Structure 1
Amino acid sequence: MSRNRRPRTDQRAKPAATSHLRIIGGRWRGRKVPFAPIEGLRPTGDRLRETLFNWLQFHLQGARCLDLFAGSGALGLEALSRGAAAVDFVEMDRGAASMLRQQLDLLQAEGAQVHNCPAEVFLSQRAAAYDVIFVDPPFAGDLWQQTLTGLLDAGCIGEHTLIYVESPRTTPIDAPAGWQLEKEKQAGQVCMRLFSA
């Protein structure tokens, strides 16, 4: 006769450990923010963010920003911390979007809105330009070119919009006509590019 036994402690399923990122500048400098431990989620590292936000330091105050593949929210949170007036965070994964909302509430972040939908769905509903746009999709998806085209078609690109694109260093990026490459840096296997429209 079998008995119902409690599983041994070492056999129980352990919850996934929560990961953290550190905001590196602005009013929330040094604040550690948890994010959902989702497979494939790859927040932009501290050194890359430091470089990026040095590039953007004179463009963020009062800016309207779009963090299109938000994931952990690292780029949009950093922008808010450094003076951006508004950030739209777009994240397809429900768990990641929910945790991002929680962290924005804890930070009492004004001007932040989380959109739990695929990037292409969000872009199909937009008609207003942004000052700064972050494009850092999952590297496995090869979404760069269709995303840049989608931004143009959606009316997200204004006369002075800055577009940050993060990709594997071996991935070519064919910028739309009229865009200028302002900054470029390679760090490890990652290539950082900042375009102006």
Structure 2
Amino acid sequence: MARFQLKIIGGKYRRRGLFSNPGMTTRPIANRMKEFLFEELRYNIPDARVLDAFAGTGTIGLEALSRGAKSVVFIEQDHKAFELLNQNIGRLEVESETFAWRSNILRSSFLPKGFDDFVPYDLMFFDPPYPMVPGMSAKDPLYKTLERVARDTVSSHEAVLLFRTERKTDFEIPPEWTVVDELTVSSSTMYFYRKTDSLESEPATTETAAEEADTEE
């Protein structure tokens, strides 16, 4: 039976309970990682258009919404998880700011019809089942999915991709994405990616320029 196991930990819905089911195969993110993650993203969240892929019962996307995200598209295929996701959306009364999409992520266009204002995404959370990730390479459906979400019609030029895996997992990522940070808590690691072409087009920061100047002396 579903019950309140999880809570929003920050923002306007702080301490509001969320439905979860201890018997499900979804892996809700630990509060400790959630705290670190959203502290790292504090400047990215306000007014962001968010994608919560492999959403489970929606804890990450709803946390982002609580902290000021503009909209969230949730994608989840499992029937029971999707049912609880919709209950959580209703509990917070955020139907107008969200779209819950029951779909196979590996085949999704990521562009829900009638929700043009919800894309392109500025923040994308991917939390695939751990067995999908080890040894991932260009031939795998998940790899091809990460290629698709790099398209400009799907994600903004400055988009941030968050990808959660079991710690110490080896896998390949499409060249369209470059890792810029990572966060390991307990048995899982969250990788932060930016679009490679957005990093290449950024001017050197003042700090970097100063470091280069020191090197030349």
When the two structures are superposed, what TM-score results if normalisation uses the length of structure 2? 0.75
**What residue is the counterpart of 1:122 in the other structure?**
108
Identity of matched residues, %: 30
SS of the counterpart of 1:44? coil
Q: Deviations over 1:116-170 (max 9, x none)?
A: 1111232365694210000001112337534312323584232100000100112
Describe how 1:62-73 pairs up with structure 2 within 5 A. Answer: 62-73=47-58
1:187 aligns with 2:199: no
Contact 1:145 1:173 in 2 (8 A): no
Give the C-alpha shift of residue 44 in structure 1. 0.7
Contact 1:144 1:173 in 2 (8 A): no
**What residue is the counterpart of 1:175 in the other structure?**
173
Unmatched segments (≥5 aa) in structure 1: 1-15
Give the C-alpha shift of residue 66 in structure 1. 0.2
Instruction: Choose which of 46, 56, 78 in structure 2 pairs with 1:93.
Output: 78
Contact 2:9 2:15 in 1 (8 A): yes
When the two structures are superposed, what TM-score results if normalisation uses the length of structure 1? 0.82
Extract structure 1 runs of 4+ deviating beyond 6 A.
none
Moved more, 63-72 or 104-113: 104-113
Q: How many residues align?
A: 182
Contact 1:88 1:115 in 2 (8 A): yes
CA radius of gyration, larger in: 1
Q: Structure 1 residues 77, 180: CA separation in 2 closer, same or farther (over 3 Å shift)?
A: same
**What residue is the counterpart of 1:113 in the other structure?**
99
SS of the counterpart of 1:145? helix
Moved more, 149-158 or 62-71: 149-158
SS of the counterpart of 1:101? helix
Describe how 1:71-86 pairs up with structure 2 within 5 A. Answer: 71-86=56-71
Unmatched segments (≥5 aa) in structure 2: 134-140, 196-217
Moved more, 33-42 or 160-169: 33-42
**What residue is the counterpart of 2:127 in the other structure?**
136
In 2, Cα distance between equivalents of 1:22 and 1:140: 27
C-alpha RMSD over aligned residues: 2.2
Describe how 1:50-65 pairs up with structure 2 within 5 A. Answer: 50-65=35-50
**What residue is the counterpart of 1:196 in the other structure?**
194
Q: Structure 1 residues 116, 163: CA separation in 2 closer, same or farther (over 3 Å shift)?
A: same
Give the C-alpha shift of residue 50 in structure 1. 0.7
